[in-house]
Each structure stands twice: as C-alpha cells, then as structure tokens.
Amino acid sequence: MDADMESTGVRRLLTGAVLRSVGRAADMGVLELAGGQGEDLALHIQCAFRVLHDGQVLLGSRDMTYARGGTEPDAFDTLYDDRAALLSRVLGGARPQVETVLQGPAGALTLEASRGFRVDVLPDRSGTEESWRAFTRGGQHYGYPPGLV
C-alpha cells in the first residue's frame, strides 16, 4: 500500500472513533477506541507519545520509566500505570470523539478529540522499525513507516 493510501486509511479509520482507554503491553502504549459502528479499534505506539487535556500532559510514554510513589521501578508498577488507570476511567465517562487526525513529517500523528483531549505520537528513531500501528481488530492495519506494517 502506498503512503498516500495508507494516510487516507488512517484518517478514515480513526476520525469519529471514541477514545475508550489507554494502557500498555510491556513498553508499548495501547490506546483502545470504539469505531462508529461499534468495532474495536486500537493504536499501538512504540515511540514517544503523550495524552493531553486542555493543553496539559496527563500521560506520557516516559512515565513508564518512573516508579510509583518513589519506590524502585517494577515492570508494571510505574507512574504510567497509575495515570493510565485513572485516565481510562475518565475516558470511559467523557467518551471523547476523535474529530481530526493530523499526520505530519516523519510519521508524526495527532488525534484531536472532543472535550479537550489530544493524543500526540512522535516517532523518535532513525531506523526502519515500526513506530505506531492503527487497526481494526481482525481488519486492516495502517502504520509508520508506511508499507512496513
């Protein structure tokens, strides 16, 4: 699939989706969404990212490196895990809908959602490894770099 078709596919897939929850699988960020027809969508993020509300960072990928409450970090006992759990509860109640999907240079991806929510994905490596992937469970996958997914 060429880059233009992939870009169009990402916008079509994510525009109108509802942000449901945020979590992780090891060191990969996982954003769960519900599509317009109720389908399960996901954004798997393997690079720098952040979730904002009204311009304030609520959750960032680097939060995975900070221990909860100043203790020694454990694989799944980090600041990220605390904030992701809280943010998921907030998203479940607020049900923000993705209004705009912006794609920038070098794989940058921004989801602007209702109620002041925003997700910024910022690929930060020079190699050809996958930085992010947006998909319908059991369906089409799109990602960066294009054609790699």
Q: What is the pLDDT of residues 9-28, one digit of tens each?
A: 999 999 999 999 999 999 99
Q: Which of 78, 74, 77 is nearest to 62 (CA)?
A: 78
**pTM recorded for the entire structure:** 0.91
Exposure string over 41-52, b if 16+ CB within 10 A, otherwise e: bbbbbbbbbbbb
| C-alpha neighbours within 13 Å on the C-beta side of residue 126 | 0
Which residue ranges of the chain lie beneath pLDDT 70? 1-3, 5, 69-76
Structure confidence at residue 124 (pLDDT): 93
pLDDT tens profile 50-61 = 999 999 999 999
Q: Are 14 and 26 in contact (CB under 8 A)?
A: no
